[in-house]
Amino acid sequence: MAGKVQSRKKSKIFHRAGAIFFCILFLFLSGCVHQNSGFTVKPEVFESVPDVIADEHTVKVILPLQGTMRVSYPWTPEDGRYWRVSVTEGLFVTGDRYIPYPPDLPVDVSGTREWMVKAISPGAQRFIGYLRPRTGSWNQEIVQQNISVLVIEGSDEIQKNGMR
């Protein structure tokens, strides 16, 4: 009799574990959980004017605490590569979007990928963008862009460092 009780308990545990697994699998496949869940992606953050505008030529910037920076990098999604970004803990990515160029515009890239970044803690910070190839992509070139960001508290320090 003790053997039957043990097998029933094991069976219930197995069924519960299976149900939990399928719930988690459903959440991932339905899009409720995103790979970049560390970022809060809100399109409305692009409506306000940022404190700093950065592009592929930007290497260093100074940002006030709670200030924002818009980073724009050229991108052609058709070449099989994709952008991944990372930031240090004093920065936070609040927005991410792709702006395609008009199709009749004769350019080498088909659009711009943009991120809105907010300074949440003072000190030396870093924004890093990686343009990586997908599996089977014809373009296997990897590009890395780095921006050193000095986040400063108070308007006196910002004026001292040449901003505003």
pLDDT digits (tens, 9 = 90+) for 29-76: 544 433 443 455 677 788 889 999 999 999 999 999 999 999 999 988
Q: Which residue segment(s) compose the domain that 66 sits in?
A: 43-160
Same domain, 82 and 150: yes
User: Is 38 a member of any domain?
Assistant: no
Distance between CA atoms of 18 and 101, rounded to whole angstroms?
47
Whether residue 22 is predicted with pLDDT greater than 60 in this model: the reply is yes
Number of C-alpha atoms within 13 angstroms, CB side, residue 137?
16
Same domain, 4 and 80: no
Same domain, 111 and 152: yes
* 131 and 85 Cβ atoms separated by less than 8 Å: no
pLDDT digits (tens, 9 = 90+) for 106-152: 667 788 999 999 999 999 999 999 998 887 777 788 889 999 999 99
What's phi and psi for 8, nearest 5 deg? -70, -40
Count of domains forming the chain: 2
Same domain, 123 and 155: yes
Same domain, 25 and 56: no
CATH number at residue 53: 2.60.40.2020
Same domain, 86 and 108: yes
Model's pTM, two decimal places?
0.67
User: Is 8 a member of any domain?
Assistant: yes
User: Is 25 a member of any domain?
Assistant: yes
| Residue 87, burial from CB neighbour count under 10 angstroms (0-12, 13-18, 19+) | buried
Same domain, 10 and 79: no
User: Is 15 a member of any domain?
Assistant: yes
Same domain, 114 and 155: yes
Same domain, 97 and 130: yes
pLDDT given at position 164: 40
